Amino acid sequence: MILNREARISKARRYLYFSPVVLILLLLAAAPSFMGTAMISLMTRILCFGLLAMSVDIAFGYTGLWSFGHAAIFGASAYINAILIKQTAVSSFWILAPVSIAAAAVVSAIFAAVAARSSGLYFLLITFALGQLVYSLAMQWKTITHGSDGLWGIPYPNIGIPLSNVSNYYFTLLVVILSGLLLRLFTKSPFGYSLVGIRENEIRARTMGYNTRLRKIIAFVISGMFAGLSGILYLHFNGGIAPENIGMGASGMAMFMVVIGGAATLWGGFVGSAVVLILQYYISLLTPQRWPIFLGAIVIAAVFFSRGGIFPRVIWLWQKVIKYGNTAS
Amino acid sequence: MEILRVDKLHLSFGGLQVLRGISFSLEKGEKVALIGPNGAGKTTVLNVLSGLIPPMSGKVILSGHEITDHPAHARASLRLARSFQISSLYPQLSVLLNVLLALQGTEKTSYQMIRPITSYKANLDKANELLASVDLLSKRDIPSQSLSHGEQRRLELILALAVRPIVLLLDEPTAGLTSNESSALAEMLSSPSNKDVAVLFVAHDLDLVFALAKRIFVLYYGKIIAEGSPEEIQSNQSVREIYLGENKGA
């Protein structure tokens, strides 16, 4: 009897612990019923950049690869998708998305193969340089990419049923949640933990039998594939893609999102995306030109007052609340 | 049966000759100490043998296969393991995850990307067994950086043993341990479960050297100046002069 009671209490605590997740999912599902078009667009943007930030977190937070080229991989996938939509008769998302993700994997593999011999700041500089190469290609190859104008007129994804602003939000939400769950499994797997091992102590990992260079390349490619998927979702949501979406500013923004949300937490990237884009939206309404100043202040505040990011801090607070509740009862 | 052979290893850092024609061999299950004053090149020998630093010339042969050009991870796959002088753990990971990572390092399942690492029951059981053998089972869920120094040294040894080595290189395994902990470590290394493991260990702890080693190499400025049983080394005049600081006339 006592055991049953304890098991029930333990189960109840578990439900209580995860209740905010259910609440957030319900809010995300119900959002279109109480939000206007502009807010739904903002939510879709948060989802796209949340997935990009999660992909950056795999490389940066988990593996310790300071990538400043993820926006270029995001962009390469989006550009390939846009070019295929514009220049071929194929429009099915189920065909074009895998092709574009494969392209993102190839670009990531090239980035990783070149940069994997280095680490830390040098890795960042090499990925930054390679990212700028992709950016230059998008700017200069005008016959294909339309230069600084970009490629526009891209419809919502053709998934077999017509999509609207709201249904595209739900589609993006579904893809991002599934991707997040897949990445969550990845981070808890032997391979995922080996990446954390490499980040924490690469020499020890090598002497344990881990081919650290190969693993860093694989991790970067997997991370790049999810960055590519986020690029495709963003392309369809945004209606197009331009070089300004794939430059160093975008890479820096994705990195900021991870730092603000919490590196090596996966969902922290999503939190960072929400914080940055919601603040950007409201601050830009008041003073559009001064947004970068506020972004800088937010990053500094996050580093000083919430080292480790907002997401781990929120989890810690919630655990305290549950513990306090248990003690009080 | 010879398990490890080192032949005329040379290494220089700039103008400094760190290793000058090091040659020796280890038999299966043999426990050998590498001693010498600070700066003699002892840790460098371990770094070269474990593949962290390539030698300029010479050969390393493990179980009859030349591994001189093998990277560190390939040597670990051939069951050559090592520990470090300063505990080299995964500080933010739990004690259990440290051991699980060590156990799966040379397995194909380490490339598995979906199944949780803790779902591999054989590895989990083995990890628990190893942790129990050094009294760390109760601390398996805390980050390894929260362990005391002595506990970290014990975990360090477990990580090396988890590779199921045929040759184990230990760098100052008892540094910072109490005499009881050092004795327990010596007992563990000479226990029946490790009888087939050839151990080459660097130590300043002469109690450990004499308790564990059947053979001793004395390294001085990158060169082996003496080799023999503990008794032979103790009575070797060159060793007394160079290592123990005694003069011929004294």
Q: Give the rounded percent of residues in chain A with a pLDDT score beyond 90.
A: 76
Residues of A in contact with B76 (CB under 8 A): 206-209
What is the least distance, in Å, from the CA of B50 to any CA of chain A? Answer: 7
- How far apart (Å, rounded) are the C-alpha atoms in residues A52 and A235? 13
Q: Which residue has the higher pLDDT, B157 or A292?
A: B157
| B172: closest CA of chain A, how far (Å) | 16
Q: Which residues of B touch A202 (CB under 8 A)?
A: none
pLDDT at A199: 95
Range of the domain at A291: 41-328
Confidence at residue A66, expressed as pLDDT on a 0 to 100 scale = 92
CATH number at residue A261: 1.10.3470
Contact A247, A71 (CB under 8 A): yes
Residue of chain A minimizing CA distance to B123: A190
Q: Residue A265 pLDDT > 80, yes or no?
A: yes
Number of domains in chain A: 1
Secondary structure in 3-state letters for A299-325: HHHHHHHCCCCHHHHHHHHHHHHHHHH
Which candidate, B123, B192, B131, places its Cα nearest to that of B157? B131
Strands B31-35, B198-202: pairing is parallel
**Among candidate residues B221, B213, B217, the one with its CA nearest the CA of residue B189:** B213
Q: Around Cβ B195, how many Cβ atoms within 10 Å?
A: 11
Question: Cα A106 to chain center, whole Å?
Answer: 19
Q: Quick check: B113 and A205 CB within 8 A?
A: no
Token duo for residue B183: 């004795």
Give residue B177's pLDDT: 84
Element at B34 (helix H, strand E): strand B31-35
CB burial class (10 A; 0-12, 13-18, 19+) of residue B85? middle
Q: Where are the beta strands (DSSP E) in chain A?
A: 151-152, 240-241
Compute the average pLDDT of residues A12-20: 78
Q: Are A144 and A83 in contact (CB under 8 A)?
A: yes
Tokens representing residue A66 in the block: 């300071």
**Among the partner residues B82, B90, B111, nearest to A197 by beta-carbon distance:** B90
Beta strands in A164-247 (DSSP E): 240-241
Helix (H) or strand (E) run with residue B17 in it: strand B16-27
Q: Give the length of chain A.
A: 329
Tell me whether B122 touches chain A (CB under 8 Å): no
A69: which 2 tokens?
A: 């080229």
B245: left (phi over 0), alpha (psi -120 to 50) or beta: left
**Smallest Cα distance from A263 to chain B, Å:** 13
* Tokens 């020796």 found at: B24
Half-sphere exposure of B47 (CA within 13 A, CB side): 14
A151 burial via Cβ count (<10 Å: 0-12, 13-18, 19+)? buried
Residues in chain B: 250
What is the reported pLDDT for B234? 85
Positive or negative: CA dihedral A205, A210, A214, A219? negative
Residue A310 lies in a domain: yes
Q: What is the pLDDT along chain B (250 residues), one digit of tens a residue?
A: 899 999 999 999 988 999 999 999 999 999 999 998 888 899 999 999 999 999 999 999 999 999 999 999 999 999 999 999 888 999 999 999 999 999 999 898 999 999 999 999 999 999 999 999 889 999 999 999 999 988 999 999 999 999 899 999 999 998 888 888 888 888 888 888 888 999 999 988 888 888 889 999 999 999 999 999 999 988 888 888 876 666 554 4
Q: Which of B226, B198, B206 is nearest to B82 (CA)?
A: B198
* pLDDT at residue A193 greater than cutoff 60: yes
Closest in A188, A192, A210 to B73, CB measured: A210
Interface test with A, best of B113, B144, B166 (most A CBs within 10 A): B113
Is the residue at A312 inside a domain? Answer: yes
B82 - beta bridge partners? B169
User: Do residue B106 and residue A191 have CB atoms under 8 angstroms apart?
Assistant: no
Residue A138 domain flag: yes
**What is the spatial distance between Cα B26 and Cα B198, in angstroms, rounded to a whole number?**
7
- What beta strand segments (E) does A94-148 contain? none
A chain contacts of residue B171, beta-carbon cutoff 8 Å: none
Query: Is the residue at A36 inside a domain?
Result: no
Q: Do A208 and B90 touch (CB under 8 A)?
A: no
In a domain, A18, yes or no: no
Q: Is residue A5 part of a domain?
A: no
Residue labelled with tokens 């990307």: B113
Q: Which of A19, A47, A60, A22 is nearest to A270 (CA)?
A: A47
Q: Tell whether B106 lies on the interface with A, counting CB pairs under 8 A.
A: yes
Return the higher-pLDDT residue of B178 and A182. Answer: A182
Q: Which residue of B lies nearest to A194 if distances are taken between CA atoms?
A: B101
pLDDT, tens only, A42-86? 999 999 999 999 999 999 999 999 999 999 999 999 999 999 999
Q: Hey, which bits of B14-171 come out as E strands?
A: 16-27, 31-35, 57-62, 65-66, 80-82, 167-171
Task: Identify the closest residue of chain B to A189 by CA–CA distance.
Answer: B116
Burial A65-74 (b: 16+ CB within 10 A, else e): bbbbbbbbbb
B168 contacts in chain A (CB < 8 Å): none
pLDDT band of A16, cuts 50, 70, 90 = confident
Confidence of residue A2 (pLDDT cuts 50, 70, 90): low
- Return the pLDDT at A77: 97
Q: Are A176 and A47 a contacting pair, CB within 8 Å?
A: yes
What domains appear along chain B, each with residue ranges and CATH number? 2-242 (3.40.50.300)
Distance in angstroms (rounded) separating the CA atoms of residues A11 and A145: 55
Interchain CB distance below 8 Å, A204 and B114? no
Disruptive mutation site among A195, A204, A210 for chain B (greatest number of B CBs within 10 Å):
A204
Residue whose structure tokens are 């001189």: B68
Residue A19 inside a domain? The answer is no
* DSSP single-letter state for residue B143: B
Decide: helix, strand or coil at residue B9.
strand
Residue B2: count other Cβ atoms within 10 Å of its Cβ.
13
Query: Each residue of A92-107: pLDDT tens digit?
Result: 999 999 999 999 999 9
The more confident residue out of B76 and A301 is B76
Q: What is the mean pLDDT of chain A?
A: 91
Q: What is the mean pLDDT of residues A219-248?
A: 96
Helix (H) or strand (E) holding B131: helix B121-133
Q: What is the pLDDT of residue A323?
A: 80
A245: which DSSP letter? G
State yes or no: pLDDT of A87 exceeds 50. Answer: yes
Q: Which residues in chain A touch residue B105, judged by CB atoms under 8 angstroms apart?
A: 194, 205, 208-210
Residue A1 scores a pLDDT above 60: no
- Nearest residue of B to residue A218, measured between CA atoms: B111
Cα–Cα distance, B201 to A289 (Å, whole number): 64
**In which residue are the tokens 């470090």 written?**
B84
Residue A188 covered by a domain = yes
Using CA atoms, how far apart are residues B97 and A46, in angstroms rounded to an integer? 34
- Residue B180's pLDDT is 86
Inter-chain touch A193–B93, beta carbons under 8 Å: yes
Contact B217, B32 (CB under 8 A): yes
| pLDDT score, position A3 | 52
Question: Would you state the pLDDT for residue B250?
Answer: 43
CB within 8 Å: B110 and A200: no
What b/e string do you get for A115-132 counting C-beta neighbours within 10 Å, with b at 16 or more?
bbeebeeebbebbbebbb
Backbone angles phi, psi at A151, to 5 degrees: -110, 120
ipTM of the complex: 0.91
User: Which residue of chain B is at minimal alpha-carbon distance from A181?
Assistant: B114
